[in-house]
Amino acid sequence: MIDFSRSVHEIAPELIGATLLVDGIGGRIVEVEAYDQEDPASHGYRGRTQRTASMFGPPGHAYVYRSYGIHWCLNLVCEDVEVPSAVLVRALEPTHGLDQMRRRRGLDDPRLLASGPGRLCQALGITGEHDGLPLDRPPFELRERAGPVQVHSGVRVGITRATELPWRYAEAGSRFLSRPLRPA
């Protein structure tokens, strides 16, 4: 099991290539972004609120929030209690339960099943009910990567503050990214 009681900047690149499943459905993580406590783009930056409460909880748990009123986004909480930091899981390469994901997403193309934080949550059936749940127990299953993976970094997507920090990590050459990587 991955140790989440460390800096988000250490953990985020290690998650590329790890396998994430929810009720046995999921795949290899190919794209993540790091958000830390000093980060104006982080939900935890302005302190604890009802929405962000689980971001301030124990590490190794999920922080799920509603984005743009429509989509769910999954974050993995890092470090210690009262220090908000998390990894946003942005894309994965579907490997388990493809048919179930197709049904939930209403389309066939594997490249569109989980290439983006909102799509990923829809494909895996993640909702606000998963907010605060531990990642090492069902329905979640998180496996460390088995072999070597080439990880590249770039600037983050979809934010308006602290936009030049190279805290987006992705597997080099993956076809399943939400967008091409732009190096810092």
Partner DNA sequence: CACAGGATATACT
Partner DNA sequence: GTATATCCTGTGA
Contacts with DNA, residue ranges (CB under 7 A): 33, 35, 41-44, 46-47, 49-52, 55, 66-71, 73, 75, 86, 88, 105, 112, 116-120, 157-161, 178
For residue 41, give both structure tokens: 């783009």
Q: Which is nearer to DNA, 128 or 138 (CB)?
A: 128
The nearest distance, CB 95 to DNA, in angstroms, is 19
Task: Find the shortest distance in angstroms from Cβ 104 to DNA.
Answer: 10
Residue 9 main-chain phi, psi, to 5 deg = -75, -20
Encoded tokens for 74: 């999954």
Nearer to DNA by C-beta: 134 or 158?
158
Least distance to DNA, CB of residue 150, Å = 23
Instruction: Label residue 104 exposed, middle or buried (CB < 10 Å: 0-12, 13-18, 19+).
Output: middle
Q: Of 43 and 96, which has the nearer Cβ to DNA?
A: 43
Going by C-alpha positions, the residue among 66, 56, 29, 68 that lies closest to residue 132 is 56
CB of 49 to DNA, least distance (A): 2
For residue 69 the two structure tokens come to 């009123």
Write down the least CB distance from residue 146 to DNA, Å.
26
DSSP 52-114: TGGGGS-TTBEEEEEETTTEEEEEEE-SSTT---EEEEEEEEEEE-HHHHHHHHT---GGGTS
Looking at beta carbons only, is 53 or 172 nearer to DNA? 53
Residue 97 or 118 with smaller CB distance to DNA: 118
